[in-house]
């Protein structure tokens, strides 16, 4: 069954009218016929007005955040052949460094080099020498003596040697007489620097000598007559004395060296006729059997 609109309206009016009349009777503060009435408070017994209320705080509504424009979607129709798919692969990380710990090289303790071979010390030597006799300035104008010699040299240690020598010397002696001598000497030699090539040494020792002297008392050209009964006379003398000197030994090689030395000697006669027939007499008649001089020697020594 269909309800018409007019009938519905009539029913609503009939329902609302009694309700409005009831509301007007219930509120004494509403004028008659008023739809909306506010309830009024009963009059206050005090005469003081109520305090004024602060004005309400008006809070503006929060602004809405800006909205981004809507994204535009572009649809591209697909092609027949899709693009190639590119796959990016990250390169593998480099391998971690490998540290090889090597032990420090061990130094092999090398044995010390062997000592140099010890040179064989040559303890024996044979000396061959030439020599000349040195005299003072009062000698005769024809005085001159020289000779040669040989010596056996024993050198047990580098700093010391013993020299056993035999020499032959001849010529005109200090007074101009013809003289020949054969001296035998024993000398001790002390070397200062035996390890050097040039070695300095000092020597000293004892000596014995045998001499033959020819005296010529023939007539002189000035006087024309001899002053003695026998113009020619030969004498034999014996001597004992000592010598002292110094020299150099120059090593030419291991077995050969050159010797140069200077020696001074002093001696006296030891034969039986020394007391009765002295050898020297000066202008004042004084006699003596002592004599001295110097020797300059040079020679080669061969060691073994």
Tens digit of pLDDT for each residue in 163-183? 999 999 999 998 889 999 999
Q: Domain 124-303: which CATH class?
A: mainly beta
Of residues 26 and 54, more confidence is placed in 54
Best mean pLDDT range from 23-32, 77-86, 230-239: 230-239
Q: How far is CA 274 from the centre of its chain?
A: 73
- Look at residue 79 in the predicted model and tell me its pLDDT: 55
**Whole-angstrom distance, CA of residue 181 vs CA of residue 166:** 11
With cut-offs at 50, 70 and 90, classify the pLDDT of residue 271: very high
Average pLDDT over residues 212-226: 68
The token pair that represents 249 in the structure block: 């030994």
Task: Give the per-residue pLDDT at 23.
Answer: 46
- Phi-psi category of residue 46: left, alpha or beta, with phi > 0 → left and psi -120 to 50 → alpha: beta
pLDDT at 238 over 50: yes
User: Distance from CA of residue 128 to its chain's centroid?
Assistant: 49
Tell me: pLDDT of 21 over 90.
no
pLDDT tens per residue, range 77-114: 555 677 777 777 788 888 888 888 888 887 777 888 88
Res 16 pLDDT > 70: no
Would the pTM of this model clear 0.85, i.e. be above it?
no
Output the 3-class SS for 41-75: CCCCCCCCCCCCCCCCCCCCCCCCCCCCCCCCCCC
259 — pLDDT class (breaks 50, 70, 90): very high
Closest-CA residue to 250 (of 203, 301, 204): 301
Q: Residue 95's pLDDT is what?
A: 86
Reported as a pLDDT band with limits 50, 70 and 90, residue 160 is very high
What percent of the chain shows pLDDT beyond 70? 68
Q: Is the pLDDT of residue 198 over 50?
A: yes
Residue 137 has pLDDT above 50, yes or no: yes
Domain ranges of the chain: 124-303
Q: What is the structure's pLDDT at 12?
A: 61
CA distance linking residue 255 with residue 149, whole number of Å: 20
Tens digit of each residue's pLDDT (9 = 90 or more) over 287-297: 999 999 999 99
| pLDDT value of position 99 | 83
User: Of 50-54, 234-238, 250-254, 265-269, which gets the smallest average pLDDT?
Assistant: 50-54
């Amino acid at each position: 069954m269909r309800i018409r609109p007019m009938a519905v309206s009539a029913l609503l009016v009939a329902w609302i009218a009694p309700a409005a009349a009831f509301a007007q009777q219930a509120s004494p503060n509403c004028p008659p016929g008023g739809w909306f009435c506010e309830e009024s408070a009963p009059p206050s017994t005090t005469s003081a007005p109520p305090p004024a209320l602060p004005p309400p705080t008006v809070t503006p509504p929060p602004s809405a955040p800006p909205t981004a424009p809507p994204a535009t979607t572009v649809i591209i129709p697909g092609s027949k052949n899709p693009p190639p798919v590119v796959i990016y692969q990250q390169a593998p990380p480099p391998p971690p460094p490998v540290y090889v710990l090597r032990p420090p090289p061990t130094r092999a303790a090398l044995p010390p080099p062997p000592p140099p071979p010890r040179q064989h010390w040559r303890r024996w030597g044979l000396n061959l020498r030439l020599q000349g006799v040195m005299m003072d300035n009062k000698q005769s104008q024809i005085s001159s003596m020289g000779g040669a010699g040989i010596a056996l040299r024993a050198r047990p240690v580098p700093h010391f040697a013993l020299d056993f020598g035999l020499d032959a010397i001849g010529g005109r002696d200090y007074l101009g007489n013809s003289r020949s001598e054969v001296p035998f000497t024993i000398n001790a030699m002390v070397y200062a620097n035996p390890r050097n090539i040039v070695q300095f040494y000092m020597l000293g020792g004892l000596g014995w000598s045998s001499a033959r002297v020819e005296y010529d008392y023939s007539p002189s050209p000035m006087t024309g007559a001899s002053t003695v009964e026998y113009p020619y006379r030969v004498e034999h003398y014996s001597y004992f004395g000592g010598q002292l000197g110094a020299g150099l030994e120059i090593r030419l090689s291991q077995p050969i060296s050159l010797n140069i030395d200077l020696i001074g000697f002093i001696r006296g006669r030891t034969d039986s006729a020394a007391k009765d027939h002295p050898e020297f007499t000066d202008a004042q008649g004084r006699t003596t059997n002592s004599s001295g001089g110097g020797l300059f020697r040079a020679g080669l020594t061969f060691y073994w």
